[in-house]
Amino acid sequence: MADFQSIIDDIHQQIIAQKNYGEVAGYIPELSDIDPEKFGVSLITVNGVCYQAGDSQDLFSLQSIVKVLLLSMAYTRLGGRLWQRVGVEPSGTPFNSLGTLEYDQGIPRNPFSNAGAIVVCDVLLDLYENPRQALLDMVRRLADDDTIQYDPAVAASEKAEGYRNVALANFVRSLGNIHNDVDAVLALYFDCCSIAINTEQLCRLFLVFANNGQTLDEHYQLLNVSQTKRMNAIMLTCGFYDEAGDFAYQVGLPGKSGVGGGIVAVLPGHFSIAVWSPRLNEKGNSFRGLQFLEQFTTKTQLSIF
Ligand code: GLN
């Protein structure tokens, strides 16, 4: 195995020296208070060895990364029937796009767009008596960490300003693909996005996707091997919206980003890696996060390709 610690330290130091790149997400007011220079990295292997650099213990907002977990909750209960409500095709559109919804008759192209994740939240309201608790239980169990919490201030801030998501949800509802009260669906979506996490916890959480759907201690099988393959395929093709092709090209790992500045990626059978830096590029993905991962897979020659 490569000397992960020195490679991570080298890339971290090199990237941190560069200034003037990207902007912190401002459309969720609470997120704009974060120190834009924060930069943390964690990597955990399927043997349980952990490597860290920088602000790996600082909490940030999970945001769209939670869409992978929401999808897992719906997929494990419904299996392939879920694909009647949301597709698995890359959209080539921004995360908050209304773009193809009318043409697609309210079936979002994939579950990692906002529209897709909002439909998944509608599904979860039907499947789980208390989906917020079920999500938190799952996150804490996968990350083996009972301290992980929702951040009510971030959720309230997005609820107050989330006009685009309100429009998306109402539009999908008008096309018949949301069945519950729109406000209840959106409240669930905003709450789920608000989970506070650090890169080490995020790595632990996503190790399941590098480990055939199972926690390292083998006590919890979230997904079977085939379902894990499919989740990783959706992350690879849809995890970065209209930058998914570029991420596959530059980095070559299944992964997911969020506007909190986090990115998590996995090399199945080997490791999960999480990077957090709040400044985003114009596609809403962490600027330094992308740079870091591109250099990491290039230097180590470890990617799915
Ligand atoms: N909560 C955010 C939103 O709906 C999530 C977007 C993201 O992280 N890309 O806008």
pLDDT of amino acid 18: 83
Per-residue model confidence (pLDDT) at position 1: 56
Report the distance separating Cα 221 and Cα 211, nearest Å. 10
The ipTM estimated for the assembled molecules is: 0.97
Burial of 253 (0-12, 13-18, 19+ CB in 10 A): buried
Beta strands in the chain (DSSP E): 40-45, 50-54, 60-61, 196-197, 255-257, 262-267, 271-276
Which pLDDT belongs to residue 21? 82
**Is residue 158 lining ligand 1, measured as CB closer than 6 Å?**
yes
289 CB near ligand 1 (under 6 Å) = no
Average pLDDT over residues 192-220: 96
Domains, the chain: 4-63+197-300 (3.40.710.10), 64-193 (3.40.710.10)
Is 259 annotated in some ligand binding site?
yes
Tokens of 169: 């949800």
Render pLDDT for 89-141 as a digit per residue (tens, 0 to 9).
Answer: 999 999 999 888 999 999 999 999 999 999 999 999 999 999 999 999 999 99
Please check if 103 is assigned to a binding site: no
Q: Which residue in the block uniquely carries the two structure tokens 């959706």?
A: 234
259 lines ligand 1 (CB under 6 A): yes
In tens, the pLDDT along 8-39 reads: 999 999 999 987 789 999 899 999 999 999 99
Integer Rg of the chain from CA: 18
Q: Is the CB of 121 under 6 A from ligand 1?
A: no
The Cα 132–Cα 124 span in angstroms is 9
Residue 186 pLDDT exceeds 80: yes
Residues 6+ apart with CB under 8 A from 234: 71, 88, 110, 111, 112
Looking at the CA of residue 63, tell me the nearest atom of ligand 1: 8
The pLDDT-based confidence of 81 (bands split at 50, 70, 90) is very high
Q: Is the pLDDT of residue 62 over 80?
A: yes
